[in-house]
Structures are given as C-alpha cells and as structure tokens.
A and B are shown apart, each in its own frame.
Chain A
Amino acid sequence: MQFGIFTVGDVTTDPTTNRTPSENERIKAMVTIALKAEEIGLDVFATGEHHNPPFVPSSPTTMLGYIAARTERLILSTSTTLITTNDPVKIAEDYAMLQHLADGRIDLMMGRGNTGPVYPWFGQDIRQGIPLAIENYALLHALWRQDVVTWEGRFRTPLQSFTSTPRPLDGVPPFVWHGSIRSPEIAEQAAYYGDGFFANHIFWPKEHFQQLINLYRERYAHYGHGTPEQAIVGLGGQIFMRRNSQDAVREFRPYFDNAPVYGHGPSLEEFTAETPLTVGSPQQVIDKTLTFRDHFGHYQRQLFLMDHAGLPLKTVLEQLDLLGEEVLPVLRKEFAAGRPSDVPDAPTHASLLARRDTAPVVA
C-alpha cells in the first residue's frame, strides 16, 4: 500500500490573514512540501496540471524533474496529466525523459480536465473530451511500447515511422493511472489496459465513487488482468489534523468556509458527514481512512490533499509532521493486516521490470 499527497497547486488567499502568496512562493512551497513528503516517509507526491489562474503547475515535468533531483525514494506522479489537451507525443517524450532522470521513480495519472475554455487554448474542443482521452491515450500507449510508430487518428496529424525518444527506461513504460470523477468510460478504459484507476474521492459522497470503482474492478477482470480484487485502485482523501480534535476544527473552519470548491456552501460538520473529508485528531483521521477499505475493498494507493484553500506552508508542514509521526505508521500496519496475499501492491518501475523479465517468452 502506497501513501502520498496530491496537490492542486492553487494560489489562494489565506482567509485568516488576507494574504495571497506570489506564484513564486507557491511554486517553491509545492517543492518544499514534496521534499517534506519524502522526509516523513510518504511514498508518492503528485502534482496537478492546470493552465489557468489561480493555479501555477502548468509544467509538471519541470517541477517533478527538479524534485526528482532532490529526493531519493519518493515516487513522482501527476494528478492529473491532461490527456485531452496535451499532445500524446509530447507526453511520451517528457515523461520518458523524467523517468530516466528519476531512475524510474515516476508514474502518471491521466485526466481529461473539466475547464471548457482550456481546450481551445490547445486547439481542442471539450465536447470531444472522451474521444480525445481515448485516442490520445491509445497513441501514447503505443509510443511507449513500439519503437517505430506509424499512426493515423482523428485529432492529430498522422505519424510516419516515428520514434519517440528517449525510449522508456529499461524498455518499461511508466505505470499509468486513470483519474475520473464521473465517467464510466474512463473506468472502462483503465480496465481495458490493465492500468490503475484513481477516484478523486474528495468533495463527493463515497457512494458515487463506489459505483465507478466497482465497475472498474468488474471490467478489469472481464479483460483478463486478474480478479476484481486484484485491480489497481487509488483513492484521494482530504484531512486536517491537530492533536486535539477541537483545535483542528477551530483552525480549519475559516479555510473550509472560504475554500474555492465547496466554500460558502454546507457547514464543515455537514460536509465531513457527507464526504471523506476528516477534520480532527490523528486518531479520527486513522479511523476514517480505514473505513475506505471497507467501502472500496483492499486498494493500492491513498493520496491526501493537504495544501489547498490558502493554508500557509508552515501549517501544511506541521500537518505533514503529524501525518508522518502519528498516522502513517498506524495506517501502514492496519492496512497490511488482513490483506490477502494475492492482492498486489501498486506497480513500480522495479516490479514492472521484474514482471517483464519473468514473463514467459512468446515465440
């Protein structure tokens, strides 16, 4: 089981001080948070990709390459890589390059992006969102697996005898997750390829994501990648902790009340009752996170959102200390308990390399 954090990369005014960080501060804070993630023993850091204010991470491989150079163990990922508006050729090149530089410590999560105006900025049309996700990923998948690709599709210029360079490290393409908030087509896509499926799992009640994950598991088995229980599932989550539960609620409330996504809506209490958000003591975070397994089955990756809504860097780093000291060791132990031996871990470069080398040779 992998644990990590994912960041949206929003520049948001701190509602308690009315101070807005500069883009430079926010970018540097994201890097500091990533380095802290390795320090406290997390497995994964994932950054969003956005091309509109108030978000800063428009160039994920630049940021992840920098973080890769300053970390040893951390897996670097995305949340998400826009498979619709990025040219799949450029994704193939950029992330293969990153994979080499990071010695294989990378994977990606594909997403469509739901901001209509972004699509035409990159010459695309949001009404074609699902077909773009399907065609572009099919091409990306081929570019990482075939040295020479001749290809023709609907959305980009054809390729004649094209080789994407560098070739993936050790000939093993990065593992791919597909993130979705509402599209069964994407669960189907992830199942078809035997890729991972990540349910964002923040903002909405679990029942919604249960349907998508159950569909993915069922279709994963249908396509012969394993049993439904062996499908590769990732979940998001959102937490704010203080040792004393009341302190956590008091401190987080102004950030909650003014948060860009759900602020000025339901109360903190209503929202924590309805969604996976936990605001409270480390023990409450542990208890709620452990319920995810009951709702979704044994899964492979848990990412927390910890640095949004204008929370200052200092607070985020304190949160990460609590996560590393009090929550992570317990979660690792509890999630390992009772985990069937045939439920796989999330694929890594090492495990994919080993799998390739032990796979029967097809004549």
Chain B
Amino acid sequence: MNLVVVTAGLSKPSSTRLLADRLAAAARERLAGDEPVEVHVIELRDLAVDIAHNLVTGFPAGALRTALDTVKAADGLIAVTPIFTASYSGLFKSFFDVLDNTALAGKPVLVAATGGTARHSLALDHALRPMFVYLRAIVVPTAVYAASEDWGSGGDVHTDGLGLGERIGRAAEELAGLMLRRTPAPPEAASDKVVPFEQQLAALRPR
C-alpha cells in the first residue's frame, strides 16, 4: 500500500508539513494490516525551481519527474497547502498543473490546508476540492483545515466540538477506508491507447 503526501509549506519546519505528517501518521495507523504501508513525502519547496522550469519547457526534469511518477503510482494521496491570498499556494497549484491530468483518476485524496485564520477554511471546498474533482480523484468528505489557533486548542461549536486531532482522525479514517476498498486499475500498454486508424476514419464519414 502506497501512501503519498504532497506538502507545499515554504518554511522549514512548516506547520503545513506538521499537518501533513499528522495526517500521514493517522492514515498509516488505520491502513496497518497484512500489507505493508509505504509513505512517500514530497516537499514541493525542494522542487520549486524544477516546477518553474517545467512550466517554461513543458517537461519535468530530474527530481520532479521522480516526484510526478511517485504521485502517479500512489494508492492514496494526502495533499496539504498553505492558504495564500484566499486560495491554494501558487506552488501547490503549479505542481498539479504539471502532473499528467489522468494521474489521479479514481484515487482517494485527502485535502488539507493551513492558514493564519480560520476565516479561509472554505478555500478547501472552494478551491482544492474542485481541482481534484477535475482530476477525477475521489476526495474524502472530511477536509482538514488548521488555523493558527487550532494548534493550541480543542474543538469549538463550529467543529462539532472536534479538535484538530479528532478531525485528522476522521479524515484519515475516510482515506484509509477508500484506499483499502480500492481495486487499482491495470497499467495501460502503449498500443492500448491507440484507436485503430480505420476506426478514426470511419468516425468521420458523413452520416
């Protein structure tokens, strides 16, 4: 079982990475069973220059290529971004811009974000969720937002009394559930992707 974590925090250490690690640990715990669980963490900060180059040249070089392949091979993904200017960070979006748009199809994805204020928490549902829906991922119902105050408090009336720890647990439970029930698609052979030419021609004949 292959769990991949993409985190777009910019400082080191970052609260975004901290949230990503908490989510990964919680998911790993719930995935533990007969099959070993491998967790790969991708820090987008380390790939920032490669990502910018990919935007310019149209192809991923070196470490970015490895990271994109890792995401493609994932059984489940945890994607965590800081909220900047009311949405995901540009770096976070750029990574998913250069990812093949079929790489996440049918895969469970847990979305999470950090921010200075809880007022931006809906960015998860207004920005991250639609983006992953476009990529045909299966986004787990619970998205986890950690504002500055969440790191030092329990739950409140707006989170049904659930503190950050409990919300992490609930989201991880949902992710693990989807990952355990998922049947991975068989890998495509190159020639499977080609529509035979007669068929392409026939599709164009006047009706």
Does B18 lie at the interface of the complex (its beta carbon under 8 Å from any beta carbon of A)? no
Interface string of B50-79 (1 = CB under 8 A from A): 001100111101100000000000000000
B197 touching A192, Cβ below 8 Å: yes
- Residue A55, interface by CB 8 Å: no
On whether A185 and B206 interact (CB within 8 A), knowing A215-B194, A265-B57, the answer reads no
Chain B contacts for A187, CB-based, 8 A: 194
List of B residues within 8 angstroms of A275 by Cβ: 59
A219 touches B59 (CB 8 A): no
Q: Number of A interface residues, CB 8 Å? A: 35
Interface string of B164-207 (1 = CB under 8 A from A): 00000000000000000000000000110111111011011010
Q: How many residues of B contact A (CB 8 A)?
A: 21
Interface membership of chain A positions 182-216, coded 1 if the CB is closer than 8 angstroms to chain B and 0 otherwise: 00110111011000000000011100100100110
Docked Cα-Cα span, A266 to B57, in Å, equals 8
| Chain A residues closer than 8 Å to B190, beta-carbon distance | 184, 211, 214-215
Q: Are B61 and A274 in contact (CB under 8 A)?
A: yes
A161 smallest CB distance to B (angstroms):
18
Please report the C-alpha to C-alpha distance between residue A264 and residue B52 in the assembled complex, in whole angstroms. 10
Chain B residues contacting A135 (CB-CB under 8 Å) are 204
- The answer on a CB contact under 8 Å between A262 and B56 is yes
Known contacts A188-B195, A211-B190, A219-B194: does B56 contact A134 (CB below 8 Å)?
no
A154 and B206: CB pair below 8 A?
A: yes
- State the main secondary structure of chain B at its contact with A: helix
Contact with B along A247-263 (1 / 0, CB 8 A): 00000000000000111
* A214 / chain B contacts, CB cutoff of 8 Å: 190
Is A171 an interface residue when CB atoms closer than 8 A count as contact? Answer: no
Give Cα distance in the complex from A153 to B207, angstroms.
9
Nearest chain-A residue to B65 (Cβ)?
A205
**Could you say which residues of chain A place their CB within 8 Å of the CB of B200?**
130-131, 134, 185, 188-189
Chain B residue numbers with a CB within 8 Å of A189 are 197, 200
CB distance from B67 to the nearest CB of A (A): 15
Question: In the bound complex, do residue B194 and residue A185 qualify as a contact, i.e. CB atoms below 8 Å apart?
Answer: yes
The one of B52, B58, B195 that contacts A203, using a Cβ cutoff of 8 Å: B58
Residue of B at shortest CB range from A134?
Answer: B200
Within 8 Å of chain B (Cβ to Cβ): is A218?
A: yes
Residues of the A chain whose Cβ atoms lie less than 8 Å from the Cβ of B194: 184-185, 187-188, 215, 219
Instruction: Contact check, A274 vs B201: say whether CB atoms are below 8 A apart.
Output: no
Q: Which of A153-192 contact B (CB under 8 A)?
A: 153-154, 184-185, 187-189, 191-192
Contact between B191 and A218 (Cβ–Cβ < 8 Å)? yes
B57–A134 contact, CB under 8 A?
no
CA distance A204 to B203 in the complex (A): 32
- Given A265-B57, A266-B61, also A134-B201 (CB < 8 A): yes
Q: Of residues 86 to 118 in A, which have CB atoms within 8 Å of B's CB atoms?
A: none
Q: Which of A191, A192, A218, A266 contacts B53 (CB 8 A)?
A: A266
Cβ–Cβ contact A188 & B58, under 8 A: no
The smallest beta-carbon distance between B205 and chain A, in angstroms, is 8
Q: Does A152 contact B (CB under 8 A)?
A: yes
Q: A134-B201, A134-B204, A153-B204 are in contact. Are A204 and B195 (CB under 8 A)?
A: no
Interface residues of A in 197-241 (CB under 8 A from B): 203-205, 208, 211, 214-215, 218-219, 223
Residues in A neighbouring B193, C-beta threshold 8 A: 184
Asked whether, in the complex, the Cβ of B53 is within 8 Å of the Cβ of A265, the reply is yes
Give CA–CA (A247, B35) in the complex, Å: 57
B-contacting residues, A121-159, CB 8 Å: 130-131, 134-135, 138, 152-154
Q: Is the CB of B201 within 8 A of A152?
A: no
Report Cα–Cα, A261/B57, bound state, in Å: 7
A357 at the interface (CB under 8 A from B): no
Evaluate contact between A270 and B195: CB separation under 8 angstroms: no
Q: Which 4 A-B pairs have the closest CB atoms?
A: A265-B56, A192-B197, A266-B53, A204-B59
Chain B interfacial positions (CB closer than 8 Å to A): 52-53, 56-59, 61-62, 190-191, 193-198, 200-201, 203-204, 206
A-side residues, CB < 8 A to B, are: 130-131, 134-135, 138, 152-154, 184-185, 187-189, 191-192, 203-205, 208, 211, 214-215, 218-219, 223, 261-266, 270-271, 274-275
Interface pairs (25), CB distance under 8 Å: A130-B200, A138-B201, A153-B206, A154-B204, A154-B206, A184-B193, A185-B194, A185-B195, A188-B195, A188-B196, A188-B200, A189-B197, A189-B200, A191-B197, A204-B58, A204-B59, A208-B59, A211-B190, A214-B190, A215-B190, A215-B194, A263-B56, A264-B56, A270-B61, A274-B62
